[in-house]
Structure 1
Amino acid sequence: MNIRRWSVGVLAATLLVPGLAACNSDAAEPAAAPSPSTPADPKEALLASTKEIAKGNFTFTLVGDGTTGGGLVHKPSNSAQFTVKFGDASEDMSIEMDLIYIDSESWVKMDLGGAMFAAVPGAAKNKGKYQHLDKTKIKDVKDLQLDPETLDPLDSDALVKSVTEVQKTGEGTYTGKIDISAATESAALDEEVVTALGAQAKALPFTAKLDPQGRLTELAISVPVAGETAAHDIKIGYADYGTGAGAQKPPADKVVEAPAETYELFK
């Protein structure tokens, strides 16, 4: 058993390998002020709304089917953090994670519960502690990758590019249809659910909100019943553009070196 098969591994993995450093050549440069104008065409407005995310200075949230998460990306300090809760220990499995990346160092705190993890070696090891990750041990673990082309763990750029119909419904508000089968790389989506939806995945209802500067603040997708997964909404949020603070290093008395079992969980 490994964390990756529960799809939350994609969300967690995005912050574990030093990738911000590869995009940090202009970290000392002040962020350019966002344009106050928003394209009149609804589709163009959505496409433009994710450009500020690419600058790597924001906080984000995610709510989905049994999943809640959030965090920050702070390119100026070359740091990021992500917390996630997934599942229910009373229903076989639960995962709680807090991941921190600062410059070239990474830490993960995990609480894995439920019957499915009870027999997994090391699942309960170091509960409540931040495990310091050895870069030499994670560089070849395929799921612990950060795409150097994007600093957005949720890949909202791919999602808005998958919008097939959109109308403006008010100041900064939009609605329409989205083809999530065209954006399965987004960590906000569960590939098994997308597959179970079949043709329905090509035209799901969505709503979006932009701030006065035309930046994406919320994207909500309504997902119908898919196999054994109940109908639910996926809601992504962004805030603190250009004004966020960097991640904080875990207290020394809360840090241990990650054991071999931790690396195995992500394989």
Structure 2
Amino acid sequence: MNIRRWSFGFLAATLLVPGLAACSSDAAEPAAAPSSSAPAVPADPKEALLASTKEMAKGDFTFTVTGADMTGGGLVHKPSNSAQLTMKLGDASEDVSMEMDLIYIDSESWVKMDLGGAVAAMIPGGTKNKGKYQHLDKTKIKDLKDLQLDPETLDPVDSETLVKGVTDVQKTGEGTYSGKIDISASTDSVALDEDVVKALGAQAKALPFTAKLDPQGRLTELVIPVPAAGEAAAHEIKIAYTGYGAGTGAKKPPADKIVEAPAETYELFK
């Protein structure tokens, strides 16, 4: 298996830079009263899908994602200015495995990394502080140009961009849709492996997909079967969302599980 280029950088780009903090003043504002009636779901299938990701801009949801050799999930909670992302690449039976858990609360971040196989040998101190959450001092991260989170795009999976790639869609039932999707322009999504997208070539422009929306028209599931390409076997990309508007925020790691990040961790940002 390949070590994805975004394995650690994505986690950092998602949560280390205070994109949520740009909106932190919102936390002091009272929450808007819920609408007495759900918004109408657009009758046009494509418009319904495009509208289905708008709720994510409010920054209060949980998600899961699976892809080629990867599983992950987490939460975004703008009201408490917090987020969490977990990710697992490979497993103990493979040459390379990586498990990460990154927590962001206001201006503080902690990362837990459990590295195995070749990746542990490649990274100095790769097995240091196994099972511990490393507290990160962002003043020690000098080059932030590649670690930017757009505060207008609070969804780590970037389903909004994925859905914009829909080229053909039909409504197949109550809240269910299917069609074709172009993923060639969505390689920043954690759900996609850029090398696989490149290997797919023209196929990447017309993959099948299915989607589900809840009664309020919010995206709850997006599934994209991906054929074998390059070194990757055929697999399924599956993204799911729950808990819209019902989050309680990320929790700080237990004190006995926290250590200060060593120099080796900061080297990963260079």
Aligned to 1:30: 31
Asked if 2 retains the 8 angstrom alpha-carbon contact of 1:16 and 1:101, the reply is yes
TM-score (norm 1): 0.94
- RMSD (Å) for aligned C-alpha atoms: 1.6
User: Is 1:220 matched up with 2:223?
Assistant: yes
Asked if 2 retains the 8 angstrom alpha-carbon contact of 1:42 and 1:174, the reply is yes
CA distance in 2, matches of 1:115, 1:31: 49
Q: Deviations over 1:197-226 (max 9, x none)?
A: 000000000110000000000011111111
User: Is 1:12 matched up with 2:15?
Assistant: no
CA distance in 1, matches of 2:219, 2:213: 5
Asked if 1 retains the 8 angstrom alpha-carbon contact of 2:68 and 2:193, the reply is no
Asked if 2 retains the 8 angstrom alpha-carbon contact of 1:143 and 1:266, the reply is no
Q: Which one of the candidate residues 66, 70, 83 is aligned to 2:69?
A: 66
Question: What is the deviation of 1:8?
Answer: 2.2
User: Is 1:108 matched up with 2:111?
Assistant: yes
Alignment of 1:144-159 (within 5 A): 144-159=147-162
Asked if 1 retains the 8 angstrom alpha-carbon contact of 2:119 and 2:126, the reply is no
Alignment of 1:85-234 (within 5 A): 85-138=88-141, 140-234=143-237
CA distance in 2, matches of 1:190, 1:12: 15
TM-score (norm 2): 0.93
Question: What is the deviation of 1:26?
Answer: 2.7
Residue type of the alignment partner of 2:31? P
Asked if 2 retains the 8 angstrom alpha-carbon contact of 1:10 and 1:187, the reply is no
CA distance in 1, matches of 2:34, 2:189: 27
Q: Deviations over 1:128-176 (max 9, x none)?
A: 1100001112252444332222111011100111111100000000001
Aligned to 1:42: 45
Give the SS at the match of 1:106. strand
Structure 1, unpaired ranges of 5+ = none
The change in CA–CA distance for 1:118 and 1:103 in structure 2 (over 3 A counts) is same
The percentage of counterpart residues that share the same residue type is 78
Question: What is the deviation of 1:6?
Answer: 3.8
The change in CA–CA distance for 1:190 and 1:32 in structure 2 (over 3 A counts) is farther
Q: Deviations over 1:25-82 (max 9, x none)?
A: 3332314636331000000000000010110000010111111111110011000011
Across the two proteins, how many residue pairs are aligned to each other?
A: 264
Residue type of the alignment partner of 2:204? A
Q: Deviations over 1:231-265 (max 9, x none)?
A: 10100111100011111111111111111111222
Q: Answer with 143-152 or 106-115: which moved more.
A: 143-152
Give the SS at the match of 2:83. strand
Moved over 3 A (4+): 31-36, 141-144
User: Is 1:247 matched up with 2:246?
Assistant: no
CA distance in 2, matches of 1:119, 1:186: 25
Residue type of the alignment partner of 1:23? C
The change in CA–CA distance for 1:81 and 1:200 in structure 2 (over 3 A counts) is same
Residue type of the alignment partner of 2:34? A
